[in-house]
């Protein structure tokens, strides 16, 4: 008899299940984080938008990312893990997108050295003030409403 015939799980099957669980958490967190980070960047740089949309609507994308971080998870433990991965991914996305033009556009090394501290400071400030407040606020609100509704 083989292990699959008598319903015993092998170590390799258990490892695959753990790997799929962590890949699921990472993929859900990365999607919500990138979505929230890009939404927060668009809100902060609303003067670059082509369409005349109210920036508050764009900030709603970041809030939806925080809500999705909880709704996409199967349980509380997974929700917290997805929320943390999404939060840090979105923060890094926001700062990275803000700093990317310094290397994409043809700046000289001296101009880049002069601009980098100011642009990095502005990006980190936006990530701390705008992104963290909206993403975590929406995530914790969804968590609280779900906990209240389930009791």
Reduced 3-state DSSP string for 7-72? CCCCHHHHHHHHHHHHHHHHHHHHHHHHHHHHHHHHHHCHHHCCCCCCHHHHHHHHHHHHHHHHHC
Question: pLDDT band for position 48 (50/70/90)?
Answer: confident
As given in the structure block, the two tokens for residue 64 are 């939806």
CA count, 13 A, side-chain hemisphere, 22: 5
Q: Which domain holds residue 74?
A: 31-150
Model pLDDT for residues 53-68, shown as the tens digit of each residue: 899 999 999 999 999 9
Give the 3-state secondary structure of residue 121: helix
The answer to whether 49 touches 62, Cβ cutoff 8 Å, is: no
Is residue 10 in some structural domain?
A: no
Is residue 15 in some structural domain?
A: no
State how many domains the chain has.
1
Count of other CB atoms within 10 angstroms of residue 146: 15
Is residue 114 in some structural domain?
A: yes
> Which residue, 49, 41, 46, 36, is CA-closest to 98?
41
Is residue 20 in some structural domain?
A: no
Model pLDDT for residues 4-22, shown as the tens digit of each residue: 555 555 556 667 899 999 9
Is residue 9 in some structural domain?
A: no
As given in the structure block, the two tokens for residue 91 are 């923060």
Q: For residues 139 and 63, give the distance between their C-alpha atoms in angstroms, rounded to a whole number.
A: 8
Q: For residues 17 and 21, give the distance between their C-alpha atoms in angstroms, rounded to a whole number.
A: 6
Question: pLDDT band for position 87 (50/70/90)?
Answer: very high
Model pLDDT for residues 94-137, shown as the tens digit of each residue: 999 999 999 999 999 999 999 999 999 999 999 999 999 999 99
As given in the structure block, the two tokens for residue 43 are 């809100």
pTM: 0.86
Look at residue 151 in the predicted model and tell me its pLDDT. 84
């Amino acid at each position: 008899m083989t292990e699959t015939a008598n319903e015993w799980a092998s170590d390799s099957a258990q490892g695959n299940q753990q790997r799929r669980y962590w890949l699921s958490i990472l993929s859900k967190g990365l999607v919500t984080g990138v979505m929230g980070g890009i939404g927060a960047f668009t809100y902060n740089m609303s003067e670059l938008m082509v369409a005349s949309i109210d920036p508050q609507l764009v900030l709603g994308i970041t809030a939806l990312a925080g809500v999705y971080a909880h709704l996409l998870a199967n349980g509380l433990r997974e929700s917290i893990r997805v929320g943390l991965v999404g939060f840090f991914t979105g923060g890094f996305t926001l700062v990275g997108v803000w700093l990317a033009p310094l290397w994409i556009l043809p700046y000289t090394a001296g101009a880049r050295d002069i601009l980098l501290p100011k642009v990095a400071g502005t990006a980190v400030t936006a990530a701390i003030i705008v992104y963290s407040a909206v993403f975590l606020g929406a995530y914790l609100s969804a968590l609280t409403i779900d906990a209240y509704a389930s009791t």
